[in-house]
Amino acid sequence: MEVLRLPALSDNYIFLLYDASSGTAAVVDPAEAEPVLAELRRLGARLVAIFNTHHHGDHVGGNRPLLAAFPEATVYGGAEDRGRIPGQSVFLVEGDRVTFGQREATVLFVPGHTRAHIAYYFPPAAADQPGHLFCGDTLFSGGCGRLFEGTPAQMVDSLSKLRSLPDQTQVWCAHEYTLKNLQFALTVEGGNADLQRRWAEVQAARQRQEATIPAWLGVEKRTNPFLRWDLPALQTAMAAQDGVQTFSRLRGRKDVF
């Protein structure tokens, strides 16, 4: 399975999964249809699935045009998003499995950004290959999504699920927010040497107009404050009593950063 990153809108990424052996493709969170249709034409591939993580327009905006072009494609989304995702016909819950080509993904229920958000985790196909996490707007490179429909406790639980995945997991999040996220991270954990190195690397990459997605989950665990709420030093910095309070205060600061 090849993962192709397609820029869309102002800062979105759409992910096209391509199985060369069958000439089929699936798409994750199509913000708009045209980049997907153009890539399918280039590959000569047939779209068989749309994997949505949540209902926001910049993740489902391409659903209906893609279904018009490929009416037999199946639209997947969270069970609690029923009625909010265009064309959805499969309603997923925690622990469900979805398949594409020869690969199978586990569905993770990760509310917080929205009440119905899900993620898709494809484990490694071989010992020397990475896993792939398609997490929508729950986990960002260097950050996490805003809490529009969920609570801090829900988001901590959701991020805990993602944090428990192997370090050698590629994080395919849906926005190019890394530079701003790390700029914020330095304000709360400026002495983190791993974070300082990552900040310099990301600055250089963005100056070259290179994408920072996918990110490695192992790097996120060392540098993303929204995966580090249980660190005593970070709790002290937030004047917090526990992990949820630490996360809540971090998110509040980021919301006005």
Q: Can 137 be counted among the known catalytic residues? A: yes
Degrees to nearest 5, angle at CA 224 with 171 and 247: 115
Q: Select which of 29, 58, 81, 96 is catalytic.
A: 58
CA dist 8 and 242 (Å) reads: 38
Nearest CA to 226 among 148, 135, 171, 158? Answer: 158
Residue carrying the six token digits 């986990």: 139
CA dist 2 and 184 (Å) reads: 33
Q: Select which of 81, 96, 113, 132 is catalytic.
A: 113
Q: Can 117 be counted among the known catalytic residues? A: no
Number of residues written out for the chain:
257
Q: Select which of 29, 55, 56, 81 is catalytic.
A: 56
CA dist 64 and 104 (Å) reads: 25
Q: Can 132 be counted among the known catalytic residues? A: no
Q: Select which of 55, 117, 132, 175 is catalytic.
A: 175
Residue carrying the six token digits 């909010």: 84
Q: Can 56 be counted among the known catalytic residues? A: yes
Q: Select which of 29, 81, 96, 137 is catalytic.
A: 137
Q: Select which of 29, 55, 59, 117 is catalytic.
A: 59
Strands 131-136 and 139-140: unpaired
Task: Just list the catalytic residues.
Answer: 54, 56, 58-59, 113, 137, 175
